[in-house]
């Protein structure tokens, strides 16, 4: 088999890249190790920046998003129960859209299936070869038969644990990483959200987040120690802990019920450099991870693939290497801007036992500064809604 671009991974990054290449008339095959149901079973964040919304519209996959997504003008911050609203629309004239990442993935999958573009699901032993030469290859096994794809380029869209980044020789790649000593315990519940907008809450017992998937389905999180397990968290224990971390009036109006999903996600900041190795490009979670505070993971992935698709279009249509040569630098600049913001929000809102009472006073000062300074609020708004200089 031969294709122009072999895409490893059918998460949001691989599927959006597939869609953009298809629109540009560039032939691509997606090779995914899991089944489509497994991919759709993963629950992740649900906030889209305006530029992500625009790109999904441009890709022609926005019909459901446009009818079911909910625009939010701002978010609420809570610090030991004191509330502060950040009104993005009033501060900088921008909004964000609440629409689950699982739904974005489903829309992209449906559009790919309808177009007949080739996706190989449940491919095992996926390996990439010769990306430092002119004719890279991808090999995999499907239903007991070995396959080989020859291609011009490989797009590593295979997430944090994928084979693409792992195939780069150690001496050619630098890793920058911070692993946080806690995770987020998240639940889904079929109850109306506690508030119209998201609430990011700091409390001495730990961080909490009130989010939503729709006007009838809510998503809540509490910070837990890295060693915690979901088995230790009955629904009652979760609701009691969440209430304890919220402003009392908000806690009072929380509508609880049996949870329909419960999982713990670790928190990590991670960047690989560079993001191009000959004819291999890294995008999305294969290239970088942000802690979920700020909901940037999917938005970064969408930004990466937009850059990569543009670069590949330039290569095929104009016979120019300029875009692919600029890819790594351009994506890394956006990555580090977004890493900084996600790290800052994480730092502001979580409890860090090791930083002691000094650390807590600094967090309070940071929160009070936001309350006192319109410029500080504007900065938060600009970053949360997606800063593109």
What residues are annotated to the active site? 72, 200, 292, 296, 384
* Least distance to ligand PHB, CB of residue 27, Å: 35
- For the chain, give the longest Cα–Cα distance: 64
Cα–Cα distance between 116 and 273 in angstroms, integer? 35
Cα–Cα distance between 89 and 178 in angstroms, integer? 33
Which CB sits closer to ligand APR, 13 or 324?
A: 13
The two three-digit tokens of residue 360, written as one number: 């807590």
Cis preceding linkage at 274, omega within 30: yes
* Least distance to ligand PHB, CB of residue 66, Å: 19
Select the residue interacting with ligand PHB from 11, 18, 46, 159 (CB under 6 A).
Answer: 46
Which CB sits closer to ligand APR, 254 or 330?
A: 330
* Least distance to ligand APR, CB of residue 337, Å: 16
Which CB sits closer to ligand PHB, 111 or 211?
A: 211
Do 46 and 100 form a contact (C-beta atoms < 8 A)? yes
Work out whether 269 is an interface residue with ligand PHB (CB under 6 A): no
Work out whether 298 is an interface residue with ligand APR (CB under 6 A): yes
Select the residue interacting with ligand APR from 100, 297, 323, 386 (CB under 6 A).
Answer: 297
Q: Strand ranges (DSSP E) for 54-161?
A: 70-72, 74-79, 82-87, 96-98, 119-120, 124-129, 137-142, 145-150, 153-156
Do 4 and 27 form a contact (C-beta atoms < 8 A)? yes
Looking only at residues 23 through 52 of this chain, which bind ligand APR when binding is defined by CB under 6 A? 31-34, 39, 44
Work out whether 14 is an interface residue with ligand APR (CB under 6 A): yes
Instruction: Give the one entry of ligand APR, ligand PHB, none that residue 335 binds, where binding means its C-beta sits below a cut-off of 5 to 8 angstroms depending on kind.
Output: none
Instruction: Give the one entry of ligand PHB, ligand APR, none that residue 291 binds, where binding means its C-beta sits below a cut-off of 5 to 8 angstroms depending on kind.
Output: none
Cα–Cα distance between 118 and 168 in angstroms, integer? 26
Q: What is the number of other CB atoms lying within 10 angstroms of the CB of residue 150?
A: 14
Q: How many residues bind ligand APR (CB under 6 A)?
A: 27
DSSP 169: -
Q: x/- binding map, residues 119-158, to ligand APR, per CB under 6 A?
A: -------x------------------------------xx
DSSP 20: H
Work out whether 294 is an interface residue with ligand PHB (CB under 6 A): yes
Work out whether 11 is an interface residue with ligand APR (CB under 6 A): yes
| H/E stretch holding 222 | strand 218-225
User: What length is written for the chain?
Assistant: 389
Work out whether 219 is an interface residue with ligand PHB (CB under 6 A): yes
| Site for ligand PHB, rule CB under 6 A | 45-47, 198, 211, 219, 292-295
């Amino acid at each position: 088999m031969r294709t122009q671009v072999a895409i490893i991974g059918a998460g949001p990054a691989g599927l959006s890249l597939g869609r953009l290449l298809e629109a540009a008339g560039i032939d691509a095959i997606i090779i995914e190790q899991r089944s489509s149901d497994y991919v759709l079973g993963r629950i992740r964040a649900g906030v889209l920046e305006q530029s992500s919304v625009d790109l999904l519209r441009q890709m022609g996959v926005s019909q459901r998003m446009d009818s079911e997504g909910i625009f939010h003008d701002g978010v609420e911050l809570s610090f030991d129960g004191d509330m502060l609203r950040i009104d993005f629309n009033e501060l900088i004239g921008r909004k964000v859209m609440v629409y689950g990442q699982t739904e974005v993935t489903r829309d992209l999958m449906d559009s790919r299936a309808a177009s007949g573009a080739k996706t190989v699901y449940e491919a095992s032993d996926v390996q990439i070869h010769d990306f430092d030469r002119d004719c890279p290859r991808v090999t995999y096994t499907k239903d007991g038969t070995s396959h080989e794809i020859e291609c011009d380029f490989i797009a590593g869209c295979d997430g944090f644990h994928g084979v693409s980044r792992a195939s780069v020789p150690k001496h050619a790649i630098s890793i920058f990483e911070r692993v946080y000593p806690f995770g987020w315990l998240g639940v889904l519940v079929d109850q109306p959200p506690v508030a119209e907008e998201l609430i990011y809450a700091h409390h001495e017992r730990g961080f909490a987040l009130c989010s939503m998937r729709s006007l009838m389905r809510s998503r809540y999180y509490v910070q837990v120690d890295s060693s915690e397990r979901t088995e230790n968290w009955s629904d009652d224990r979760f609701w009691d802990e969440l209430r304890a971390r919220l402003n009392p009036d908000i806690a009072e109006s929380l509508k609880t019920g049996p949870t329909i999903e419960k999982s713990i996600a670790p928190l990590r900041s991670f960047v690989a450099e560079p993001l191009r190795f000959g004819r291999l490009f890294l995008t999305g979670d294969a290239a970088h991870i942000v802690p979920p505070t700020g909901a940037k993971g999917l938005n970064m992935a969408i930004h990466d693939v937009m850059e990569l698709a543009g670069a590949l279009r330039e290569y095929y249509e104009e016979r120019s290497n300029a875009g692919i040569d600029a890819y790594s630098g351009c994506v890394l600049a956006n990555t580090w801007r977004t890493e900084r913001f996600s790290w800052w929000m994480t730092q502001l809102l979580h409890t860090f036992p090791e930083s002691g009472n000094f650390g807590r006073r600094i967090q309070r000062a940071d929160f009070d500064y936001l309350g006192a300074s319109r410029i500080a609020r504007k900065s938060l708004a600009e970053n949360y809604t997606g800063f593109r200089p």
